[in-house]
């Protein structure tokens, strides 16, 4: 179930970017991606991964970008998410 949710999340994110940053598709993709991640590695591991002390800057930018996309500012939200994603996996 988790791999399917992550796959659909990535598909919706890609499709939302192809359709000139459609905010509904990007928001749906973000929600599916994060819920799929929770299904794959579990809630506790996901929480400990995102909220480690050295990764708080990347987490705040990534989750802030998700919130900005949900508030219908897709371009700014995706830029914040990309910066946070790079900081998380550096």
Place of tokens 């219908």: 72
Secondary structure of 24-74 in HEC code, one letter for each residue: HHHHHHHHHHHHHHHHHHCHHHHHHHHCCHHHHHHHHHHHHHHHHHHCCCH
22 and 44 in a single domain? The answer is: yes
Q: Which two tokens stand for residue 19?
A: 């359709």
Range of the domain at 6: 1-49
Same domain, 35 and 78: no
1 and 45, same structural domain?
yes
Mean pLDDT for the chain?
Answer: 95
Q: Are residues 44 and 57 in the same domain?
A: no
pLDDT digits (tens, 9 = 90+) for 30-46: 999 999 999 999 999 99
Element (DSSP H or E) covering residue 82: helix 74-88
Please tell me the distance from the alpha carbon of residue 45 to that of residue 83, in angstroms, as a whole number.
22
pLDDT at 90 over 90: no
To the nearest 10 degrees (0 to 180), the angle between helices 23-41 and 2-18 is 160
Give 44-70 pLDDT, tens digit per residue. Answer: 999 999 999 999 999 999 999 999 999
Domain count, the chain: 2
**Can you give the pLDDT at residue 36?**
97
pTM of the model: 0.90
Indicate if the pLDDT at residue 8 is higher than 90.
yes
């Amino acid at each position: 179930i988790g791999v399917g949710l992550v796959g659909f999340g990535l598909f919706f994110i890609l499709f939302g970017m192809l359709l000139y940053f459609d905010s509904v598709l990007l928001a749906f993709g973000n929600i599916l991606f994060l819920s799929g991640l929770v299904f794959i590695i579990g809630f506790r591991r996901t929480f400990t991964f995102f909220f480690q002390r050295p990764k708080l800057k990347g987490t705040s930018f990534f989750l802030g970008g998700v919130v900005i996309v949900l508030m219908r500012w897709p371009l700014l939200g995706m830029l914040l998410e990309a910066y946070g994603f790079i900081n998380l996996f550096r």
